[in-house]
Every structure is written in C-alpha cells, then in structure tokens.
Amino acid sequence: MEWFLLTTIAVTSNRIAEACIGWYRLRWRIEDWHRVLKSGCGTEKLAYRTAQRLKRGIAINMVIAWRIMLMTLLAKSADCQVVYG
C-alpha cells in the first residue's frame, strides 16, 4: 500500500516529513473530539437567546467533551473493558 499526504509545508528532510505525519495523526483525535462535542454533548442543538449564553454553553460542552475523550483514552491505555448493565 502506498499513500500520499498533501501539505503546503516544504518537506526537505525526514524530520520535517515525520513532523507532518505527526500533525496529521493529531487530526483524527480532533475529529473525534468534535464528534463527541456535537453528538455526545448536543452542542449544535443549543438554542440560547443571546450570544453570551451560547458562548458559555459551548464552553461548558467543550470541557465536558474533553473529559469524555480523556476518560476514553485512559480506558484504552489501561486496557479496561466497559460493562454496560
């Protein structure tokens, strides 16, 4: 299998190429965080009447989504199994 990563960064060494790949790998964690923020926290469904309240609601949901992601990553790293009752 062969794949190409398109970038606007001038890749002139292996070190720079490895850095680009590292940044790209982080993208998927950010995508997961957005999914948790939208689906799990329902951020897109917020319907506050003022921008200030909306900003506060989004800020709270951002922290909640981050904590959910942290718990998920810790569970994966500890090789834990989640049991649903």
- In the chain, where the domains are located: 14-74
pLDDT on residue 29: 86
C-alpha distances in Å from residue 18, one per residue of 5, 11, 21, 79: 11, 9, 5, 28
Res. 84 pLDDT band, cuts 50 70 90: low
Exposure string of 3-30, with b = 16+ CB inside 10 Å and e = fewer, is eeeeeeeeeeeeeeeeeeeeeeeeeeee
Q: What mean pLDDT, rounded, does the chain reach? A: 86
pLDDT tens profile 67-80: 998 888 888 877 66
pLDDT tens profile 14-42: 999 999 999 888 888 889 888 998 888 88
Hey, what's the torsion of the CAs at 58, 65, 67, 53, to 10 degrees?
10
Whether pTM exceeds 0.75: no
The answer to whether 43 and 58 are in contact (CB under 8 A) is yes
Res. 81 pLDDT band, cuts 50 70 90: low
pLDDT on residue 83: 60
